[in-house]
A and B are shown apart, each in its own frame.
Chain A
Amino acid sequence: MSREHPLKPVERELKVAPRRRLDLIEEVDADARAMQAELEGSGRTSRQARQDALRHFVPADQALEELAARHAPRLGRWARSAGWADRVVVLGVALAATLAGFIAVAALYGYGVPDVAAFVTWPLVAVIGALAANLCWAVTQLLMHGDLRPTQRRLLWNRHAGLLVVAVALGALGAAWVGHATLAPLEPPAIAAPESPMEQPPVWEPPVWEAVGRMATVAGTGLAAAVFGLFGWLALTPRLLTDEEAERRIARFFAQARPQLTLASDPSPEHERRGRP
């Protein structure tokens, strides 16, 4: 059975930015190792020294809470002290989604394409709202906790990628519908026969350019929704890349520590394994 690193629960429980987590586990690990070595040098057994070092340095629940509060982003600290952190998140997400929805409706009707089928318009509005809500959720997580775990990051990207595809698809579907609705029912108007046989009858041309213009507007709205989502994602990318690098270093830290822990074959009590003295 593989034994968990004593600092793994600390890393898991501490809800702060990855960089802060990495700094803390490296600091605690270095202090615990140094103390263990010093205690072993003064005659204690390896196990006693290790237990003592862990008891001193592995943060317990209260210390973790204090550290999380200390290293929370400024906005998160303020919201927590005000006692309405959750409401800020919910309100922010709802506001962003509603605003994006309104903008989408205004854009669609402002461009003069009110005859786009409702089955395209409203899903597109919902997709734009969902894109805004997804971005707002990620931003509030970062601003309130300073932390977006790898699983949350993957979820954010999966949702976002799905919504981008849906937005483009809806734009294309809407364009096809508008084209069909504009051109299909049109028949050449009844044209009076020329009075003289020398006169050429007027040629009727369907309003192709008008239809193309409408189709482009609807397709463009879907594309614009996707671009909106993409730009939001790009705005978050630098921060997410930095966090990703810190996460990689955290993973490397635990991967390097694992062989040493496996070699220490002396059975340790449950509380030590869980990192609790």
Chain B
Amino acid sequence: MKKAIILFAFVSVFYSCKKDEPVNLNPTGSVVINFNHMAGFNALVMDNAVNYVNANSDTFSVQVFKYYISNIKLTSKDGTVFSEKESYHLIDAGNPNRTAFTVANVPYGDYTSVSFIIGVDSARNCSGAQTGDLDPALGMFWMWDTGYIFAELVGHSPQDTAAGLNHMFTYAIIGYQGQYKAMKTVTIPFYNDAKVAATATPTVNLKTDVLEWFKTPHTISIAAVPFTDVPNQVTLNFADNYADMITLQNIRNQ
């Protein structure tokens, strides 16, 4: 009899636990981060026939424009910070499937800013074989001087007259250690809160302006710098420049 009572007590405890389960105390939703690529006020297209003008008055077209967005953090109104796990996203202005991503498992709440690294944190540059958006097969991993290409811009400019390049310029921004660390942390405050709730998945619309690569704080001439693919001061100058290439367009709550 005693045994039966104990058994009953156990069952009751388990049962009551089970009953509580459906009430999720930490419900989560999603946030969509979307990138619109521009050259100043013009939409950016990957087309050798469409020209833009940079801060140095160089004419140029764009063939490849890719960059990593990593370590995404969303800060809510009450100050709590949500950090996305495995937060590595390759953005490719020339691939419509790679201009937006969804951040999942975001606790319900009102978010007031997003921060991220343009590039890939130091640790993941030397942690061996990676997959997903960090898969070296995606062409953004430098293999003879291992590390990720944080951002890549390739195009043509009549001002680029360097021998053998056929007016092509190539900027591969790398460098995760020593004096030439090119990772750039960016924080973007929202104009209005991004509300994450059961019925609300906000979209954060960002604008990425390619013209920023060439202006402030360093005005860069394509003729003078047609090429960079090693960690050095030129590479750092580009990273300094593009640190503010991403700005907020709007928050769409829906």
User: Real complex partners, A and B?
Assistant: no
Binding site for A on B (CB under 8 A): none
Binding site for B on A (CB under 8 A): none
